[in-house]
Amino acid sequence: MPTTINSNSKLDELNSIKEQSIKGGGTKRIEAQHNKGKLTARERIAILSDTDTFEEIGALTHHKCTDFAMDKQKYYGDSVVTGHALINDKPVYIYAQDFTIFGGTVSEVASRKICKIMDLAAESGVPIIGLLDSGGARIQEGVDSLIGCGEIFTRNTIYSGVIPQISVIMGPCAGAAVYSPALTDFIFMVNNTAHMYITGPAVIKSVTNEDVSAEETGNARIHSSKSGNCHFVAETEEECLIKVRKLLTFLPSSNNDDSNKIAISDRNKDMLDNEILELVPPEPNKAYDMKNIIMKIIDNSDFMEVHERFGRSMICGFARLGGKTTGIVAQQPLYYAGSITVDASDKAARFICRCTGLYARGRTGTTGNNTPWSQTVICLR
């Protein structure tokens, strides 16, 4: 006689597995995450994406490693949550590293999940956003983990200038995990909880016998003001994710998208009215704030500054003129009399390259007009 399959029991089993996947590393580890002032991967996705739009991909995968008793520690979904969602009613792909599972370390299966949605994002022509909270490569998997990390880096370079790539550092981002965000277009960091470094305090201590903290090694202040690796800093995770949503309003979905234009609700007054004329002092040696000029000429006084704390004698950021996204590059007389320092020139050059889409354009063989992310760059001196 044929074997009777109880469909209800199979569905119950599947639902049970899905619930295990949603719980990540378990209640205790989630509590530990919250005690550090950090959200879980799924909580971050819920804040970042439009309500109930996130669709997960690869929720039931798990690692295949058997060394170091790893076969006894398997979690569905492994150390990263991946999928697609809507942000501001526009499609994006998201991956969020789950620190409650093996410290968010990058395993072979986790890297495959990330690579898959990076490929899907490029094929669809939509942004890819990474929420990073990772201790680096998973040492139990050795070379397999490192190969996976290399596959992610390869895609970062291939898709550069094709689709926007955004990295959001929300915890430790160490070792192999930190190379990827450094290759992306924009990096956000959360103050006090986010860190970026190739070598952590413990390794530095063992090699140089020098005591340094994670904060000293690579916190948001260092990367936003000295190294220039961080473009935006936020005080809380919620504030950081809201800033990501705002940045996306200025960016097209890809270099083939020319639809990033909005209606203007508040037209500026005549640019040559008495108020704007008084903003620039008649004395050539007297400093003034260039941001006041910028706010006068852009739509709705809506300006999102990039690299605000780095190379401060130069201002770079996104705004709109006539409803269309525009890159603003301006010398700032309040710092070094607006002179172009090494950091300022580096900052401006990198920003202009992002606006004009010069990074790796045409490498993927995409067709179309290869529209720059911002067709206009205005320089104020």
Total number of domains in the chain: 2
Length of the chain counted residue by residue: 381
* Pair 26, 86 in one domain: yes
Domain assignment of residue 60, given as a range: 7-250
DSSP 259: -
pLDDT digits (tens, 9 = 90+) for 187-198: 999 999 999 988
Q: What is the pLDDT of residue 375?
A: 54
Q: What is the pLDDT of residue 363?
A: 41
Question: What's the average model confidence in pLDDT over 40-60?
Answer: 95
- Who has greater pLDDT, 13 or 357? 13
Q: Which pair of structure tokens corresponds to residue 322?
A: 């006539």
d(CA 282, CA 275) in angstroms, rounded, equals: 14
Q: Name which of 121-125, 299-303, 313-317 the model is least confident about.
A: 299-303
Please say if the pLDDT value at position 215 is more than 90. no
170 and 98, same domain (yes or no)? yes
The model carries a pTM of: 0.88
Nearest to 153, CA basis, from 127, 173, 183? 183
Distance between CA atoms of residues 57 and 128, nearest Å: 14
Q: What mean pLDDT comes out for the span 179-203?
A: 90
**Which pLDDT value is given to residue 328?**
94
- Indicate which CATH number applies to the domain containing 178: 3.90.226.10
The confidence score (pLDDT) of residue 360 equals 39
How far is it, in rounded angstroms, from Cα 378 to Cα 10?
A: 61
Average of per-residue pLDDT across 53-81: 83
For residue range 292-303, list pLDDT tens digits in order. Answer: 999 988 988 899
Q: Establish if 256 belongs to a structural domain.
A: no
Residue type present at position 306? V
Q: Which position has the higher pLDDT, 94 or 284?
A: 94
Q: Is 80 exceeded by the pLDDT of residue 274?
A: no
Q: Is residue 266 part of a domain?
A: no
Distance (Å, rounded) from C-alpha 77 to C-alpha 325?
Answer: 38
Give the pLDDT mean for 98-125. Answer: 94
Indicate if 244 and 280 belong to the same structural domain: no
pLDDT at 7: 66
Which structure tokens are listed for 356? 């004009």
